[in-house]
């Protein structure tokens, strides 16, 4: 009898500890979800998980598998508590023991336009193909596979007298894979990238972010057995692949138009005009960086992303923007030695930014590490200074670098002008 009482007592203790732990997890994740809703960050930017609550057992396996901390357990069920952090790599879906998670685009409130493509990745315009993030595939492994598969479809098409067999736009996972396939199949190709670096959206991930969680197959290279690889390792791998294969990439070249000419296409960029039998659009959904459209913006000291804060140490830097990327850039720069940082934002207050960024910004401002100028816009950019219109008064500030973090212009209008049809997804795969 005494043994039974001991077992019951131990069971009650274990159950009590379990209930307390579950309550603590619920309270923590509920608070994070509430904060995300209050900050306007509850809408996922692209591909993201939805949970079938009728199947979810609340094991938390998906939460552990998500390196971004986008998922939590609320009321015993997996819940997207930090939607803005989700990058859609699908590690949560693979980790779920009861298959209660699927990846979808858009929500009931906000739809996302996804190009309509065939199983061969051809769009509604014959000869123009789409692979990777632009077509809705956020998973790096799948994007790379799509680039290879799309090229397999393109190489089977009838040849033309154009300059190239294929014109590849974008140097992310899909574009890089497609370029390797072009070499493998001995195709005449041109691969362009509007920025000065390869990797696409991966390049813009925060430092040490887990970028890839499964092996990928690449032409010329074979099976790349990566598991939970960080951004820096993946980018270094791609750079090594480019060097070994002599893959040709035209950086800082941006597609401006595509037109049909006889049996081929005329592709115009900011660097020239080319003809190609087929076009593969492998660019991301970030779009072209939104510009300020002010005098002096063409200066070499103007940048649209922050690669390494250390390179601006000791300089006077103006950061323009009011989103998380702008705040994170200003905070990172202010932590560098002897760096004078000004954050300019056109509105009277920040909205849709993470509370941790808001708090860190306030802390750095109170410490005198940076200045925040709300209700301000850039008037002109000069070699050694910038002019800001602040509350209706133009002020001049010493300046070495202008970092514009104003988001991007999505390529949807350009693609629609070409004739590509889109489907709007409201929380569907």
Which segment of 167-181, 229-243, 374-388 scores lowest on mean pLDDT? 229-243
Instruction: Find the CATH number of the domain harbouring 33.
Output: 3.30.70.20
**Is residue 295 situated within a structural domain?**
no
**416 and 382 both lie in a single domain:** no
pLDDT above 70 for 228: no
Work out the average pLDDT over 312-332: 92
Q: Are residues 64 and 188 in the same domain?
A: no
Q: Taking 80 as the threshold, does the pLDDT of residue 203 lie above it?
A: no
pLDDT at 47: 78
Contact status, residue 336 vs residue 312, Cβ threshold 8 Å: yes
Same domain, 213 and 267: yes
Determine the Cα–Cα distance for residues 387 and 399; give it in Å rounded to an integer: 10
Based on the domain organization, do 127 and 256 belong to the same domain?
yes
Work out whether strand 273-281 and strand 128-130 pair parallel, antiparallel, or are unpaired: parallel
CA distances from 326 to 342, 354, 402 (A): 11, 12, 12
pLDDT at 208: 55
- Give the whole-angstrom CA distance, residue 130 versus residue 390: 44
Out of 43, 71, 104, a domain closes at 104
| 133 vs 301 pLDDT, higher one | 301
Residue 190 pLDDT > 80:
yes
Contacts of 14 (CB under 8 A, 6+ apart): none
Give the pLDDT mean for 70-80.
88
Residue 417 lies in a domain: yes
> Helix (H, G, I), strand (E, B), or coil: what is residue 380?
strand
> How does DSSP classify residue 121?
-
Q: What is the value of pTM for the model shown? A: 0.70
Look at residue 297 and tell me if it is in a domain: no
Q: Is the same domain home to 261 and 313?
A: no
pLDDT at residue 258 in the model: 93
| The pLDDT value given to residue 173 | 86
Q: State the pairing for strand pair 189-193/302-303.
A: unpaired
Residues 280 and 326 in one domain: no
> Using 50, 70 and 90 to split pLDDT, how confident is the model at 108?
confident
Based on the fold, state whether residues 234 and 117 are members of the same structural domain: yes
Q: Is residue 23 scored above 90 in pLDDT?
A: no
Clarify whether residues 93 and 121 are in a common domain. Answer: no
**Which among 104, 123, 141 is the end of a domain?**
104
Residue 43 lies in a domain: yes
Which tops the pLDDT comparison, 427 or 330?
Answer: 330
328 and 282 in a common domain: no
- Checking if the pLDDT of 73 tops 80, the result is yes
The phi, psi pair for 130, rounded to 5°, reads -135, 135
Q: Which two structure tokens, joined as six digits, stand for 185?
A: 């199949």
In a domain, 294, yes or no: no
The CATH number of residue 343's host domain is 3.50.50.60
Element (H, E) at 29: helix 2-38
Q: Assess if residue 394 is contained within a domain.
A: yes
Q: How many helices (H) and strands (E) does the chain have?
A: 9, 27
What is the per-residue pLDDT across 336-354, written as a single tens digit (0 to 9) for each? 999 999 999 999 888 778 8
Q: Residue 351 falls within a domain, yes or no?
A: yes
Domain count for the chain: 3
Q: Residue 151 is encoded by which pair of tokens? A: 């090229």
Neighbours of 196 (CB within 10 A): 11
Q: Are residues 139 and 234 in the same domain?
A: yes
Residue 38 has pLDDT above 80, yes or no: no
Q: How many CB atoms lie within 10 A of CB 243?
A: 9
293, part of any domain = no
User: DSSP H helical segments within 367-405, as ranges?
Assistant: none
Please indicate, yes or no, whether residues 70 and 94 belong to a single structural domain of this protein.
yes
Least confident of 54-63, 215-224, 241-250, 316-325: 215-224
At 22, list the tokens: 């579950």
* pLDDT in the model for residue 409: 76
The dihedral built from the CA positions of residue 129, 119, 245 and 289, taken in this order, carries a sign that is positive
> Are 126 and 25 found together in one domain?
no
Question: How confident is the prediction for the chain on average, in pLDDT?
Answer: 85
**H or E segment and range at residue 167:** strand 164-169
pLDDT tens sequence across 117-137:
888 999 999 999 999 877 776
Domain end point (choices 55, 83, 104) = 104
Which residue would you say has higher pLDDT here, 269 or 104?
269
Residue 15: what pLDDT?
A: 76
| pLDDT of the residue at 229 | 65
DSSP 311: G
Residue 147: enclosing H or E segment and its boundaries?
helix 140-154
How many residues comprise the chain?
Answer: 429
The helix (run of H) or strand (run of E) holding residue 280 is: strand 273-281
* Among the ranges given (202-211, 228-237, 386-395), the one the predictor scored with the smallest mean pLDDT: 202-211
Question: What is the domain extent for residue 172?
Answer: 113-287+410-425
Angle of helix 140-154 versus helix 173-184 axis, rounded to 10: 40
């Amino acid at each position: 009898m005494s043994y039974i009482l001991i077992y019951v007592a131990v069971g009650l203790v274990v159950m009590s500890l379990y209930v307390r732990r579950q309550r603590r997890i619920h309270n923590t994740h509920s608070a994070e979800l509430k904060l995300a809703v209050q900050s306007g960050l509850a809408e996922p930017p692209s591909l993201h998980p939805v949970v079938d609550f009728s199947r979810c057992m609340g094991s938390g396996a998906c939460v552990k598998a998500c390196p971004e901390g986008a998922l939590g357990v609320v009321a015993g069920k997996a819940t997207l508590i930090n939607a803005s952090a989700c990058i859609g790599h699908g590690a949560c879906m693979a980790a779920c023991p009861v298959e209660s998670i699927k990846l979808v685009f858009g929500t009931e409130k906000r739809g996302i336009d996804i190009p309509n493509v065939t199983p061969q990745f051809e769009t509604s315009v014959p000869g123009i193909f789409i692979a990777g993030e632009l077509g809705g595939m956020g998973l790096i492994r799948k994007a790379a596979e799509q680039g290879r598969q799309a090229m397999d479809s393109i190489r089977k098409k009838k040849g033309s007298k154009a300059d190239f067999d294929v014109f590849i736009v974008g140097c992310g996972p899909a574009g890089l894979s497609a370029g390797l396939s072009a070499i493998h199949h001995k195709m005449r190709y041109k691969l362009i990238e509007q920025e000065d670096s390869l990797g696409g959206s991966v390049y813009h991930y925060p430092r040490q972010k887990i970028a890839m969680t499964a092996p990928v197959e690449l032409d010329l290279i074979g099976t790349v057995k990566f598991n939970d690889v960080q951004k820096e390792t993946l980018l270094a791998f791609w750079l090594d692949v480019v060097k070994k294969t002599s893959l040709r990439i035209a950086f800082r070249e941006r597609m401006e138009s595509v037109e049909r000419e006889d049996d081929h296409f005329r592709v115009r960029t900011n660097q020239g005009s080319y003809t190609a039998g087929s076009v593969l659009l492998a660019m991301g959904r970030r779009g072209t960086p939104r510009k300020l459209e002010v005098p002096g913006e063409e200066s070499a000291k103007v940048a649209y992303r922050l690669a390494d804060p250390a390179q601006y140490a000791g300089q006077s830097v103006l950061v323009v923007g009011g989103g998380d990327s702008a705040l994170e850039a200003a905070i990172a720069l202010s932590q560098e030695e002897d760096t004078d940082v000004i954050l300019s934002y056109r509105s009277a207050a920040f909205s849709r930014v993470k509370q941790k960024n808001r708090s860190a910004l306030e802390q750095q401002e109170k410490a005198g590490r940076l200045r925040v100028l709300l209700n301000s816009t850039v008037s002109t950019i000069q070699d050694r200074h910038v002019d800001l219109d602040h509350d209706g008064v133009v002020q001049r500030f010493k300046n070495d670098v202008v970092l514009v973090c104003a988001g991007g212009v999505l390529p949807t209008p350009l693609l629609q002008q070409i004739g590509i049809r889109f489907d709007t997804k409201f929380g569907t795969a």
